[in-house]
Amino acid sequence: MQESGCKLDHPSATKFRNHVIEGDWDQAESDLNELKALMHSHAAVVRMKFLLLQQKYLEYLEDGKVLEALQVLRAELTPLKYNTERIHILSGYLMCSHAEDLRLKAEWEGKGLASRTKLLDKLQTYLPPSVMLPPRRLHTLLRQAVELQRERCLYHNTKLDGGLDSVSLLLDHACSRKQFPCYTQQILTEHCNEVWFCKFSNDGTKLATGSKDTTIILWQVDTETQQLKLMKTLEGHAYGVSYLVWSPDDAYLIACGPDDCSELWLWNVQTGELRTKMSQSHEDSLTCAAWNPDGKRFVTGGQRGQFYQCDLDGNLLDSWEGVRVQCLCCLGDSRTVLASDTHQRVRGYNFEDLTDRNIVQEDHPIMSFTVSRNGRLALLNVATQGVHLWDLQDRVLVRKYQGVTQGFYTIHSCFGGHNEDFIASGSEDHKVYIWHRRSELPIAELTGHNRTVNCVSWNPVLPGLLASASDDGTVRIWGPAPFLDPQDPEGIGAAAWTADALQRGCERH
């Protein structure tokens, strides 16, 4: 108190606190009259008095003092002329046959320290903090300090449970870059041509990759070791596979091809069998798709003016004439479909009432976009401009991310990491770029591919796992620094071990 110049409580507030905890309601009411002069609002005094009398009334009832309780109700609570509806409810408790019945109906802990402490917490909300310090104020300030440190930490990518117990307040919080998915864990080389697309399943246990080599490869993710192994290959896509989208339950996978492909393929992931091959016309160009959240319908379209809604068997449910679609996304309301078109905009389409509206307008072609899990933010790859973040609700451009080389190739970016705090994108300069969502400059530039990186996908369940697909024919899996010891978060021992192993390897050769 001497150091802060802040008193814990005003003397009158201290008396008030003690009398409430002791259940001395007459003295507590007298204390409240003393505190009136220190309060900003007469209405707050009335509310506090109501809360005090309500507790007094309930305690009388629990003790079986029905006449005293009735007196409080009639002579003290009712004259306040506050919350008449609540007074009617309180009067109904007179009919309770026993104390347990009262506690159950009133959803009240009963006479004693627990209910009086809860009452005091409510009462304190009406008192200025200069009169009575809010409950657990120091704990609140420390928690805010920790949260602020985490927000400022560029590489924070884990969920820490346990509140203040899970962190040290002796040092500022800082995550090492070595704990972030910046290091190549695996290189998948099974495709024999350019890899155009990659996407983790919604449950994070599988990765689907699509290639110019006419195949889709499904990979199983070992959630313990975070290593991937080939699960099955789906063949027959004569035009190549440039877009993939998992159904909400991961049971099905839709595959689309490049601009000259008029077919959409719907695969059963478990059996590896083709459920549907859909083509409305040889003139179509079905290059993108999105699942309705119900998992029973999907939308698809292309740049030749096709925009369809279909069922699982490929039957046409609805169509929208003359919309040249570049990319699609279904929002969580199960009605709105977002589509980027050749007019450099993203529009919202409602198939139920056939209305549409403009949401995003760019000055250059939108090559692809993706939407955050909560449906609030959209990430756009814009030709010659790079990666832009839009707020769909407020319809404003939030941020332009720097560094990425984006010409007129279709490059797919993604949200990722814990709480989708990060953004990753491929690039025509052969790198993968990662940004913290609040920072325009990249926090990591991942090198290893030797041709354009077409697509990145962040595992939705394992925040330390990232995949990238490239024209060099490989898929790279990125994770934290290898051999990272929790006791050695900076990876000093790992670096020494790796250097030593490399030295021994060179000596052997």
Angle at 349 between CA 347 and CA 352, to 5 degrees: 170
CB of 294 closer than 8 Å to CB of 324? no
pLDDT in tens, 67-120: 999 999 999 999 999 989 999 999 999 998 889 999 999 999 999 999 999 999
Whether 55 maps to a domain, the answer reads: yes
Whether 383 maps to a domain, the answer reads: yes
pLDDT in tens, 136-149: 778 888 888 888 88
CB of 326 closer than 8 Å to CB of 338? no
pLDDT at 160: 59
pLDDT in tens, 116-135: 999 998 988 888 877 777 77
- Which of 84, 109, 135 terminates a domain? The answer is 135
Q: Are residues 385 and 327 in the same domain?
A: yes
pLDDT in tens, 370-379: 999 999 999 9
pLDDT at 494: 38
pLDDT at 166: 67
Q: Are residues 320 and 274 in the same domain?
A: yes
pLDDT at 383: 95
Q: Are residues 267 and 316 in the same domain?
A: yes
Structure tokens given for 61: 């009832």
Q: Are residues 110 and 247 in the same domain?
A: no
pLDDT at 504: 36
pLDDT at 486: 44
241 pLDDT above the threshold of 90: yes
Structure tokens given for 261: 């492909």
235 pLDDT above the threshold of 70: yes
159 pLDDT above the threshold of 80: no
293 pLDDT above the threshold of 90: yes
pLDDT in tens, 407-455: 889 999 999 998 899 999 999 999 999 999 999 999 999 999 999 999 9
Distance CA 442, CA 453 (A): 16
Q: Give every strand in the sheet of 252-256, ordered side by side.
A: 243-246, 252-256, 264-268, 274-278
- Give residue 6's pLDDT band: very low, low, confident or very high (50, 70, 90): low
Distance CA 280, CA 284 (A): 7
- Give residue 164's pLDDT band: very low, low, confident or very high (50, 70, 90): low
Whether 252 maps to a domain, the answer reads: yes
User: Between these two residues, 285 and 322, which has the higher pLDDT value?
Assistant: 285
What count of residues does the chain have? 509
Q: Are residues 188 and 90 in the same domain?
A: no
Q: Give every strand in the sheet of 297-301, ordered side by side.
A: 288-291, 297-301, 307-311, 316-319
pLDDT at 509: 39
- Give residue 490's pLDDT band: very low, low, confident or very high (50, 70, 90): very low
Overall number of domains in the chain: 3
Q: Are residues 111 and 152 in the same domain?
A: no
pLDDT at 161: 54
Whether 313 maps to a domain, the answer reads: yes
C-beta atoms surrounding 143 within 10 Å? 14
pLDDT at 507: 40
Q: Are residues 112 and 198 in the same domain?
A: no
Whether 140 maps to a domain, the answer reads: no
Q: What DSSP character marks residue 73?
A: I
491 pLDDT above the threshold of 50: no
Structure tokens given for 335: 């009605």
Range of the domain at 157: 146-175
Distance CA 191, CA 207 (A): 14
Mean pLDDT across 479-496:
53
Q: Are residues 486 and 364 in the same domain?
A: yes
Q: Are residues 296 and 245 in the same domain?
A: yes
7 pLDDT above the threshold of 70: no
Which three-class secondary structure state does DSSP give residue 320? Answer: coil
- Give residue 216's pLDDT band: very low, low, confident or very high (50, 70, 90): very high
Which three-class secondary structure state does DSSP give residue 282? Answer: coil
Q: Are residues 158 and 129 in the same domain?
A: no
36 pLDDT above the threshold of 90: no
For residue 365, count CB atoms less than 10 angstroms from its CB and return exposed for 0-12, middle for 13-18, buried for 19 or more. middle
Structure tokens given for 40: 């900003």
Structure tokens given for 49: 């008095």
pLDDT at 499: 35
C-beta atoms surrounding 350 within 10 Å? 13
Whether 78 maps to a domain, the answer reads: yes
Whether 3 maps to a domain, the answer reads: no
pLDDT in tens, 173-205: 788 889 899 999 999 999 999 999 999 999 999
Whether 508 maps to a domain, the answer reads: no
Q: Are residues 403 and 294 in the same domain?
A: yes
281 pLDDT above the threshold of 70: yes
C-alpha to C-alpha distances, 382 to 236, 372, 410, nearest whole angstrom? 31, 17, 9
- Mean per-residue pLDDT of the chain: 88
Q: Are residues 215 and 346 in the same domain?
A: yes
